[in-house]
Homo-oligomer: A and B are copies of this chain.
């Protein structure tokens, strides 16, 4: 096979990318007592490629990408556990990220929640792809008060073009966790666009 034919294959794939959502679903026994095994349906050869993303090198690119985020460093956020489809970020409270009543600002909570969801999505994608948030909604359930905050991002459905992820944000206080925010985000996979990778 020569380069022309491999180019042809690449552009076929690109056309598919817009139209054929990948049917792998990483979810999510959402409830107490739910013992169902996680549903996973490989719909195509393309989905198979996502299965290969759990190796250390793949996860390392998430640490490397996080380190490039000026905002995370400015907020004082730290990357925690990561695995395929799941990323944790912690945030200590500080006056530098407060709102007017002294709570941590909803904008800071949203930023770490969005980032956790985004990297959870990226962790399911093959190297060389980047990810951009196209929308998110966050429900803020209680003022952000605590010893520290933990955002846990999870993929709800991985698609070739669009991926849905969620993030739960917990306030840790005296060792107990309390859910203070819940986010859902749509992430768009970006490929072959200069500078948009990882």
A residues with CB within 8 A of B: 11, 14-15, 17-19, 21, 23, 25-32, 34, 36-39, 41, 65-66, 68-75, 86, 94-102, 105-108, 110-112, 114-115, 130, 132-143, 152, 154, 156-157, 159, 161-162, 164, 166, 168, 176-179, 182, 184, 186, 188, 190, 192-193, 195-198
Complex CA distance for A110 and B114, rounded to whole angstroms: 10
Partner of A98, one of B41, B71, B96, B132: B71
B105 and A139 form a contact (CB under 8 A): no
> Which one of B31, B110, B115, B193 contacts A19 once the chains associate, using CB atoms below 8 Å?
B193
Given A25-B179, A30-B154, A105–B193 Cβ distance below 8 Å?
A: no
Task: Check A156–B182 contact: CB distance below 8 A.
Answer: yes
Number of copies of this kind of chain in the complex: 4
Assembly CA distance A106 to B108 (angstroms): 11
A sample of 24 cross-chain residue pairs with beta-carbon separation below 8 angstroms, ordered by A number, consists of A14-B14, A19-B190, A19-B193, A27-B179, A29-B31, A30-B154, A34-B36, A69-B100, A70-B98, A71-B107, A72-B105, A100-B198, A101-B195, A107-B112, A107-B114, A132-B143, A134-B186, A135-B138, A135-B186, A141-B164, A156-B179, A156-B182, A157-B179, A164-B182
What separation, in Å, do the CA atoms of A104 and B75 have in the docked complex? 14
Residues of B within 8 A of A32 (CB): 26-29, 37-38
Judge whether B141 and A132 touch: CB under 8 Å: no
> Do B70 and A94 touch (CB < 8 A)?
yes
Contact indicator A101/B135 (Cβ below 8 Å): no
Instruction: Assess A157 versus B141: contact at CB under 8 Å? Given A74-B97, A186-B186.
Output: yes
Question: Is the beta-carbon distance between B97 and A176 smaller than 8 angstroms?
Answer: no
